Chains A and B, each alone.
Chain A
Amino acid sequence: MELTEKMVANSATKLSAEEILEGKVLSVKWEPKLKYAWDNGPAIGRYLAELKNGKIIGKKCDKCHRIMIPPRMFCELCWVPTGEWVYVKDTGIVNTWIIGHVDWKAKRLDIKGGVRPITLSIIEIDGASKGMGILHHLGEVDPWKIHRGMKVKAVWKPPEERTGSITDIKYFKPIK
C-alpha cells in the first residue's frame, strides 16, 4: 500500500478560524508567567559596562588575532582563552538589513498609519575584525534608501539614561 489520497483522507481534521474564535470547539488557555535573571558573564558584563560609558569594547584572540565583538572569554574558532580588551569605534557599515512590516510577534505594524517600519541590521563595527557584526536598529534614514556598505554611527542615549544595555545605543544613523 502506498501513500495515496485515500490513505490520508481522514488523517487530520481542519478547523476554521470561526470555529476557534467563536468558541465552537473547546480549548484550554494558559499564559505562562515565567521570570528569569540571566547572568551575563565576565565578557558581556564588561561589554555592557562600557556601553554605559558610551564605548564599545571587544576582545582579541592571541592565536587568530581576531578582534571580536561582542567580546567573549574564549575564541570559538581557536578554542583558547581570549587575550586583551580592545576598544573599537562606534561607527561601522551595513552588512545586511530588513524593512520589517510586522513586529516580533508577527503582528502587523500600522505602516499606512505612519508607523515607521522596523529597520534591523547587521552592522560591521569599525576597529573589529572584518565581518564582525552586531545586530542593531537603523534610524534617521529612509528605510528604502538603506544600502549594503552604508556607513553608520551609533546614536547614544544621554549618559543619565544609560543602564548598561545594548539599548544604550538607540540606533545607528547614516554618516558620510
Chain B
Amino acid sequence: MRRVAIVGAGMTKFYRNAQETSKELAYEATKMALDSCEMKLSDIDCVTIGSAPDAFDGVHMKGEYLSDGSGAFRKPVMRHFVGGGTGVLSPAHGWFMVASGMFDTCLVVAEEKMSCAYPHPAGAFITIFDHTTEQALYPTLIYIFAIEMNRFMTTHGYRKEDIALVAVKNKKNALDHPCAQLPGEVTVEDVLNSEIMAYPVNRLDISPTSDGAACMILAAEHVARRVTEKPIWLDGVGWCLDTAYWCTRDLYYPDYLEVAARQAYKMAGIKEPSKEIHIAEPYDPFTYKELHHIEGLLLAPRGKSVQMLVDGHFNRDGNLPCSPSGGLLGVGNPIAAAGLMKVIELYLQLKGTAGKRQVPGNPTCGVANAWGDLMQVGTVVVLRS
C-alpha cells in the first residue's frame, strides 16, 4: 500500500439555511480546496462523495446529484454513506483509492443540506428505527442520544454541570473559526438553563442543524511532494459497525469506536494513543459524545474523561486539545461536511496553519472520529505531519 497525503482543503461557512443549492455548496468547497494547493480539476484522478440521508434533501441518488458540484463528471466517482459517521469515512474512502495504487489523486467531497426537510429534519429520521418494534413508539434521534447520555452518566456518576463544560469549551473555540455557525461565550449555567429537549439533553447540549460542504484533496507521495512542502499524512483509517439491536448493547461505552480506533492505531503504528496523540477532534454532536468518544478512542480511561475535562486537559492549551476547531457544537453540524471539517482542522493544525485556533507545542499526530446510524458506527482517521 502507498502512503497517502492530504495536500489541500476547503469548506463553506455553515448556516442553518444557506441560499445555495447542495451542488453549489459542494462547488464552493471543492474549488477552494483545489485553489488551496494550486491544483486544477484536470489534475484529479477520482472523486469520493460523502453525504448522509437522501431524506434530508429529498433527492434520491444524492451522490449523482452532487457530482457536478464535486468536479466528478467523467471521472471515477463513488458515494459513501454511514449516517453521522460519513464525514470521517470520507477520507478513509479516498485513502483506498490512492493507497491501492489505482489513482494518484482523489477529491474527497462531503456535503449536507439539512434545511430542506420541513418543518424539521428530525422527522426524517423516523425510518431509521425498526419499522415494527420501534417506529410505533415514535422515537427520534434526540431521544436515543439522551437515552445513551443518561446511561453514560448513571454508569460513571457523571454530572450534567460537568458535561456542560464541553459546550462552553467548543463554542468558545469556534469564535476563532471563520465558518462557525454557533460560536459564543456561554456558561455552564446557560447550558443547564437552556430549554430541555429530552432530559438529560438541553438545547445547548446539541449541535445545530446546518447546511454546508467541505472538501479535501488526497495525493500519493510522489505527487504530494511536488504539490506541497508540507504534506500531512493520512496514516491510519478504521471503521466499525455494531449490531442494530441497539437496545441490547450497553450504551455506556462505544465498543465499535474502540474497534475502529484500534484498527487505525495499528495501521499508524500507535501503541499508546494517550501519549502518542497530541490533538484530537472527537465527534461532538452532543456534549456527552465528545467525552464518550474520548474514552472510546482510548485517550482517557473509562469513567475519567469528565475529571480530565474539568481539569482543563482538553482545552486548546491543555495536554490533549480536543475539538480546537469548535466542533459540531460551535462550528455547526451539516452531517457529512461536519465530520470532514474535523479532519480538515487536524490537517491545518498539523501544518501549523490554523491561525488563531493553532494549538501550542507543534503537534505532529492527531485523531478524528465520527459516529452515527443507530449509535453504532465508528469511523476514525489518524493524521501525521
Query: Which of B45-53, B68-76, B129-137, B158-166 is found at the contact surface with chain A?
Result: B129-137
Report how many A-B pairs have Cβ atoms within 8 Å: 183
What 1/0 flags go to A21-60 for Cβ under 8 Å of B? 0000100011010001010100010011000000000000
Q: Which residues of B are found within 8 Å of A44, using beta-carbon distances?
A: 132-133
**Least CB separation from A133: chain B residue:** B247
Which residue, A72, A76, A102, A117, has most C-beta atoms of chain B within 10 A?
Answer: A102
Known: A136-B137, A166-B132. A100 touches B143 (CB 8 A): yes
Query: Which of A4-12, A82-90, A153-161 is found at the contact surface with chain B?
Result: A4-12
Q: Which residues of A are found within 8 Å of B101, using beta-carbon distances?
A: none
Determine the distance from Cα of A98 to Cα of B150 in the docked complex, in whole angstroms: 7
A12 contacts B139, CB within 8 Å?
no
A81 within 8 A of B: no
B344 contacts A3, CB within 8 Å?
yes
Query: Which of B32-40, B219-227, B280-288 is found at the contact surface with chain A?
Result: B32-40
B13 contacts A12, CB within 8 Å?
yes
B267 within 8 A of A: no
Determine the distance from Cα of A130 to Cα of B244 in the docked complex, in whole angstroms: 18
**Least CB separation from B29: chain A residue:** A11
B10 contacts A106, CB within 8 Å?
no
Which residue, B14, B148, B178, B355, has most C-beta atoms of chain A within 10 A?
Answer: B178
Q: Which residues of A are found within 8 Å of B146, using beta-carbon distances?
A: 98, 100
- Interface SS of chain B: mixed
B119 contacts A105, CB within 8 Å?
yes
Determine the distance from Cα of A149 to Cα of B134 in the docked complex, in whole angstroms: 22
Known: A3-B348, A76-B245, A99-B198. A8 touches B120 (CB 8 A): no
A122 within 8 A of B: yes
Interface size on B, residues (CB 8 A): 67
Query: Which of B16-24, B82-90, B271-279, B291-299 is found at the contact surface with chain A?
Result: B16-24
Which residue, A1, A16, A40, A117, has most C-beta atoms of chain B within 10 A?
Answer: A1
What's the least CB distance linking A2 to chain B, in Å? 5
Q: Among residues 303 to 332 in chain B, which have CB atoms less than 8 Å away from a CB atom of chain A?
A: none
Q: Which residues of B are found within 8 Å of A165, using beta-carbon distances?
A: 132, 136
Determine the distance from Cα of A40 to Cα of B130 in the docked complex, in whole angstroms: 10
B178 contacts A8, CB within 8 Å?
yes
Q: Which residues of A are found within 8 Å of B247, using beta-carbon distances?
A: 122, 133-135
Which residue, B118, B136, B198, B247, has most C-beta atoms of chain A within 10 A?
Answer: B247
A141 within 8 A of B: no
B9 within 8 A of A: yes
Q: Which residues of B are found within 8 Å of A167, using beta-carbon distances?
A: 136-137
Q: Which residues of A contact B (CB under 8 A)?
A: 1-5, 7-9, 11-17, 20, 25, 29-30, 32, 36, 38, 40, 44, 47-48, 68, 70, 72, 76-77, 95-107, 117-118, 120-122, 131-137, 143, 148, 165-167
Can you list 17 pairs linking A and B with CB atoms under 8 Å apart? A1-B36, A1-B38, A2-B348, A12-B18, A38-B132, A96-B148, A96-B151, A97-B150, A101-B197, A106-B122, A106-B123, A118-B198, A120-B139, A133-B247, A135-B247, A148-B150, A166-B132
